[in-house]
Structure 1
Amino acid sequence: MVTLSEEVVLSKTKANSLDRIRNLNLWGSDLSDVSVIARMANVEVLSLSVNRVKSLAHFEKCSKLSELYLRKNEVGCLSQVHHLKGLKNLRVLWLCDNPCAEEEDYRLRVIRQLPQLTKLDHANIGDEERDAAKNAKPIPTSQSDADPSPASSPAPVPAKETAPSPPANAGKSGTSNNVLYAVMALIAELDEEALSIVKTEIEQRIDSLK
């Protein structure tokens, strides 16, 4: 079990206290215990994909949370979603590639439980899907009440654009050029969640150089 500590969070964000943190990216850190997040009252964006998080209980106190990325974790049951019901500012949620996303009518049931969302996983939520969600099976409030069933087909991932050609004046040294070209090529392969993570990392890197 890998526990996320206050020291790690403060070191990563360069903040001097947990309540000053607005964005946190700990993608692919093998984390299973993220209980410290409950103390981040002002956090707005959490990127915790590719970890081992099983419970959503620690996020329910993050009242300002607007984007939560939890793709490829270990959230086992849709009943966990009720922990997010009170997050009125939550607009973007990624839960795909968790066991809970395999349950019957996963999207419609999450949308019914969290009507404040505007985007779930890869797809925006439209009026037609909201109407359909009203008739979806309610999500139980405890895992013992859950009745997992095979999933519906997931929404298709949008086609990726072709990588742009690097500018002629991209850098002075050959090494810098090669790194920059590689980064630019990889950007075209990233989805929205990954791009958001890259954006956060770039902003933190720029701040550290000032």
Structure 2
Amino acid sequence: GAVTMTSVKDALKKLQETLEDDKKVEELEDVRLCMVPWQMPLITKMDPSLGTLKKCKHLRLSSNQIDRIGSLAGMESLEILSLARNQLKKIENLDSVAGTLKQLWISYNNIVALNGIEKLQNLEVLYMSNNKVHDIKEIERLQSLPKLTELLFHGNAFHSRFLSEGGDEKEYRFEIMKRLPNLKILDGVHIEDEERAEAQSRS
């Protein structure tokens, strides 16, 4: 059967139908609009109806067919945005949540560059493994994020190319660490002091 598409607006309406009578979608702190049994249609666009989710702290839109980040204006409580496994090509339209957003989960997309991320001054966690970033210099854009302590980055074109050109996993970690000395966790593994010191001594 062909996969049907839906809008955020309709998905929110459907979600409302599954809630108990006294609960409102607008009151939820955790909103999941991804592949769940009652919602097989895939969302292709983020529309302004997301702005009604004033209380939402964690918005889950993973495993859809969204090709660009739409406006999140009005989502004044948003701390975690999950858009993994979509068709995103770039990071954009996050200005309105820059004050509150702490975690951005965008692994398994088609993102080539990190411009647009500099605005997220409160970002602590960035999951963006398995994208299309091929230039290590893109990592330097993350230097402007003072609170970033966790990065998931393996599986990008840069990572694969680095390994295929004879580099090893340890060298790859050093390359990122010397650019981002404040990281505490890289690709799910805690950075030990010795590892950090060795990375710095190579710069």
Question: How many Å separate the matches in 2 of 1:127 and 1:32?
Answer: 35
Task: Provide the residue aligned with 2:183 in structure 1.
Answer: 117
TM-score normalized by the length of structure 1? 0.57
Partners of 2:179 and 2:195 lie apart in 1 by 13
Segments of 4+ moved more than 2 angstroms: 3-16, 37-40, 102-105
CA offsets per residue over residues 40-96 of structure 1, 9 Å max, x none? 212101110110111111111100000000011111111001110021110100110
User: When you count helix as a share of all residues, which structure comes out higher?
Assistant: 1
Of residues 29-38 and 6-15 in structure 1, the stretch that sits farther from structure 2 once superposed is 6-15
Establish whether residue 7 from structure 1 lines up as the match of residue 53 from structure 2: no
Q: Is the 8 A contact 1:4 1:31 kept in 2?
A: no
Which has a greater percent of strand?
Answer: 2
- By how many angstroms is 1:21 displaced? 1.7
1:21 matched to 2:21? The reply is no
The change in CA–CA distance for 1:125 and 1:73 in structure 2 (over 3 A counts) is: same
**Range with greater deviation from structure 2 (90-99 or 52-61):** 52-61
Other-structure match for 2:29: none
* Gap runs ≥5 in structure 2: 1-43, 57-72
Letter in 2 for 1:17: G
Structure 1's unaligned 5+ residue stretches are 138-210
1:160-185 per-residue CA deviation (whole Å, 9 max, x = no partner) reads xxxxxxxxxxxxxxxxxxxxxxxxxx
Amino acid at match of 2:111: V
TM-score of the pair, normalised by structure 2: 0.59
- Residue matched to 1:37: 94
Partner residue of 1:201? none
Alignment check: 8 A CA contact 1:69 1:94 kept: yes
For 2:76 and 2:112, the matched residues in 1 are separated by 24
Tell me, in whole angstroms, the C-alpha distance in 2 between the residues paired with 1:136 and 1:30: 37
Cα pair distance change 1:80/1:8, threshold 3 Å: farther
Name which of 127, 130, 143 aligns with 1:72: 130
Counterparts of 2:175 and 2:107, CA distance in 1: 21
* Whole-angstrom CA distance in 2 between matches of 1:92 and 1:67: 5
Q: How does 1:68-107 map to 2 (within 5 A)?
A: 68-102=126-160, 103=162, 104=167, 105-107=171-173
RMSD across aligned C-alpha pairs, in angstroms? Answer: 2.6
The within-5 A match list for 1:189-200 is none
Distance 1:100 1:72 in 2: 10
Residues 1:14 and 1:50: Cα distance change in structure 2 (over 3 Å) = farther
Task: State the identity as a percent.
Answer: 26
Deviations 1:101-120 (A, max 9, x none): 24342210211111111000
Q: Secondary structure at the match of 1:131?
A: helix
Q: Which structure is higher in RCO with an 8 Å CA cutoff and minimum separation 6? A: 1
Contact 1:109 / 1:136 at 8 angstroms: preserved in 2?
Answer: no
Aligned length: 136
